[in-house]
C-alpha cells in the first residue's frame, strides 16, 4: 500500500500553514482613516507633507538606515526610476545576476541600456563578485546585485569593485526588507536599493514599491521620475524629466505602514524557524538550506531555499520531489526554472522596433544573451526547492511537520520512481 500522499497515502499535514497576505486591525484602521479623509492620492510629487505616503517613506527609509524613501507603483518601476535617476541609459552596460526575476533585466532594457548577465555562487545563490569584475568593460555603468530570497549579497566586495571602476550600485532588494548583513542595514550599502510590495512579498499592499537612498540628488531625481517629471513648488503642468506616473496610492501606503510595524517580529520568527529547520535537516542527507556566507545577521527570508540532492533520494527528480512534498501538505515550488538568458524573448535579439537597445549605434557592439552559459545558475535552477516565506511564519510544531514530510518522502522515495 502506498505511503506517500502523492500516491494516495495519508498526508503529513492537512492543516494550512500561516495565511498570506496577513493583516490585522491595523490595516483596516489605517485604510479606513484614508478613506474617510478623502485624501486618496499622495499629491503632485507623490508624497505631499502629511500624507500616509510621506509617513511610510520616512519610516521605511529610517528603518533601513537611509535618508530618503521614494514610494512608487511596484518593484519593477522602482528599478527603472533608480536607473534613470542615476543617469543610466543608452549605450550603457548594467551588470545583473543570471538568477533573478525578469524585472531586474527588463528595467535595464527599459532605459535603453544593455543587461550583462553574470553567474551566481552556488552556496548563496547571489551574484559572484569575482565574475562581476571580469564582466566590466568601458561601457559598464552600474551593477544591480539581487538579494535573492532575502539573503544579502556580499556587498562589501561588490561595493569595493564598484568603487574601483567608478560604477553605480543599485541593489534589487525586492526580496529583502529588513535584512541585515555584517551589522549593516540595506540603506547603508551602495547608491540605492529598490523593493517590491507585490502580494507574495514579505511586506505587501497587493502592489507597491520603493527606492531608498542617501544621495540628495538621486532622491530628488527619483521623485521627479516617480511623478510626471515635476519640480517641488512648481506648476502641475511643468515637466523637467521623462514624465511618468509611477505613484503609490494613499490606501496602499496606509497598508504598508501597518505591514512595516510587524516586520521585525515576522523576521525574528522566520529566522528562528529557518535555523530550527536547518538543524532538523542535518539528519536528512540530501536537503541543504541556503543560509548564506556567515555574514547574515538577519535574513529577509522571502524564500526558504533548499538544495536538493536527488542522488540521496534514490534518484528521484527534484520536480517529482516538489510534487510529492506539495501532496504531503507542504507548499513549495521550483523557483526560477532557468537563467534569464534561456527565456524565449532572447531568441530574437531585437527589442524595440529598430532593434534598440541591442543594435543601438550608441552601443556599437554585439551582445547575444541567448548564447551565454551560466553553469552555476543552471545547477541552482535544477536543484533548488523553494518554500515560500509565510510557511516560516507558522509555529514550531508546523516546522516539525515540514521535516517529517521530507523524511517520509526520503524513506519512501522508491515509490516515486515508477
Interface residue with ligand PLP, options 51, 100, 202, 377 (CB under 6 A): 100
Q: Are 98 and 117 in contact (CB under 8 A)?
A: yes
Give the span between the Cα atoms of 213 and 311, in whole angstroms.
45
Q: For ligand PLP, which stretch binds (CB under 6 A), given 49-57, 74-82, 355-363, 370-378? A: 74-82
- Under 8 Å between Cβ of 50 and 41: no
Site string for ligand PLP, 196-235 (x = CB under 6 A): x-x----------x--------------------------
Nearer to ligand PLP, 197 or 313 (CB): 197
Q: Of the candidates 46, 69, 75, 388, which one interacts with ligand PLP according to CB under 6 A? A: 75
Binding mask 129-158 for ligand PLP (x = CB under 6 A): -----------------x------------
Sign of the dihedral defined by the CA atoms of residues 234, 237, 242, 246, in that order: positive
Nearer to ligand PLP, 201 or 408 (CB): 201
Residues 6+ apart with CB under 8 A from 406: 281, 284, 287, 325, 330
198 CB neighbour count, 10 Å cutoff:
17
Selected from 103, 152, 254, 402, the binder of ligand PLP by CB under 6 A is 103
Nearer to ligand PLP, 246 or 321 (CB): 246
- 106 near ligand PLP, judged by CB under 6 A: no
- With CA atoms as reference, report the closest residue to 114 among 153, 85, 144, 134: 144
Task: Between 142 and 174, name the residue whose CB sits nearer to ligand PLP.
Answer: 174
Residue 249 DSSP SS3: strand
CB of 37 to ligand PLP, least distance (A): 26
According to the binding rule CB under 6 A, does residue 110 interact with ligand PLP?
no
Q: Quick check: helix, strand or coil at residue 300?
A: coil
3-state helix, strand, coil in the chain (%, to 5): 40, 15, 45
Residue in 51, 53, 104, 224 binding ligand PLP, rule: CB under 6 A: 104
Binding segment toward ligand PLP, per CB under 6 A, in 53-61, 71-79, 154-162, 402-410:
71-79
How would DSSP label each residue in 311-378? GGGTT--HHHHHHHHHHTT---B----S-GGGSGGGGS---STT-TTTT-TTT-S---GGG---HHHH
Q: Is 172 in the site for ligand PLP (CB under 6 A)?
A: yes
- Measured CA to CA, the distance from residue 75 to residue 194 in angstroms comes to 7
How many whole angstroms separate alpha carbon 346 and alpha carbon 349? 6
Verify binding: residue 101, ligand PLP, rule CB under 6 A: yes
- 248 counts as binding ligand PLP under rule CB under 6 A: no
| Binding residues for ligand PLP (CB under 6 A) | 74-76, 100-101, 103-104, 146, 172, 174-175, 196, 198, 209
Amino acid at each position: 500500500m502506498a505511503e506517500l500522499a502523492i500516491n494516495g497515502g495519508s498526508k503529513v499535514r492537512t492543516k494550512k500553514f500561516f495565511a498570506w497576505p496577513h493583516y490585522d486591525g491595523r490595516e483596516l484602521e489605517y485604510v479606513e482613516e484614508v478613506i474617510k479623509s478623502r485624501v486618496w492620492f499622495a499629491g503632485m510629487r507623490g508624497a505631499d507633507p502629511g500624507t500616509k505616503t510621506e509617513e511610510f517613506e520616512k519610516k521605511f527609509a529610517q528603518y533601513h538606515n537611509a535618508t530618503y524613501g521614494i514610494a512608487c507603483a511596484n518593484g519593477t518601476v522602482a528599478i527603472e526610476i533608480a536607473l534613470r535617476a542615476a543617469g543610466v541609459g543608452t549605450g550603457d552596460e548594467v551588470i545583473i545576476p543570471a538568477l533573478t526575476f525578469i524585472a531586474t533585466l527588463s528595467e535595464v532594457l527599459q532605459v535603453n541600456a544593455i543587461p550583462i548577465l553574470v553567474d551566481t555562487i552556488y552556496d548563496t545563490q547571489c551574484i559572484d563578485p569575482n565574475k562581476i569584475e571580469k564582466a566590466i568593460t568601458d561601457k559598464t555603468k552600474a551593477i544591480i546585485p539581487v538579494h535573492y530570497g532575502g539573503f544579502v549579497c556580499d556587498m562589501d566586495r561588490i561595493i569595493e569593485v564598484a568603487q574601483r571602476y567608478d560604477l553605480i550600485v543599485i541593489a534589487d532588494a525586492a526580496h529583502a526588507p529588513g535584512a541585515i548583513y555584517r551589522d549593516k542595514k540595506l540603506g547603508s550599502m551602495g547608491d540605492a536599493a529598490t523593493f517590491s510590495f507585490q502580494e507574495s512579498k514579505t511586506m505587501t499592499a497587493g502592489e507597491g514599491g520603493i527606492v531608498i537612498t542617501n544621495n540628495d540628488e538621486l532622491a530628488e531625481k527619483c521623485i521627479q521620475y516617480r511623478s510626471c517629471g515635476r519640480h517641488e513648488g512648481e506648476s502641475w503642468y511643468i515637466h523637467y524629466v521623462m514624465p511618468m506616473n509611477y505613484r503609490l496610492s494613499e490606501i496602499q501606503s496606509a497598508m504598508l505602514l501597518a505591514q512595516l510595524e510587524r516586520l521585525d517580529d515576522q523576521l525574528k520568527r522566520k529566522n528562528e524557524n529557518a535555523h530550527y529547520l536547518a538543524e532538523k535537516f542535518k539528519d536528512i542527507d540530501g536537503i541543504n538550506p541556503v543560509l548564506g556566507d556567515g555574514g547574515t545577521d538577519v535574513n529577509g527570508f522571502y524564500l526558504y531555499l533548499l538544495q536538493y540532492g536527488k542522488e540521496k533520494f534514490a534518484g528521484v527528480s527534484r520536480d517529482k520531489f516538489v510534487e510529492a512534498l506539495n501532496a504531503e501538505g507542504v507548499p513549495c515550488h521550483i523557483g526560477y526554472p532557468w537563467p534569464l538568458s534561456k527565456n524565449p524573448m532572447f531568441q530574437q535579439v531585437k527589442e524595440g522596433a529598430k532593434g534598440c537597445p541591442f543594435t543601438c549605434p550608441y552601443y556599437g557592439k554585439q551582445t547575444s544573451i541567448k548564447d551565454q552559459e551560466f553553469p552555476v545558475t543552471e545547477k541552482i535552477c535544477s536543484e533548488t526547492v523553494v518554500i515560500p516565506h509565510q510557511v516560516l511564519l507558522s509555529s514550531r510544531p508546523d516546522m516539525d511537520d515540514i521535516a517529517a514530510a521530507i523524511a517520509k518522502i526520503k524513506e519512501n522515495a522508491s515509490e516515486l520512481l515508477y
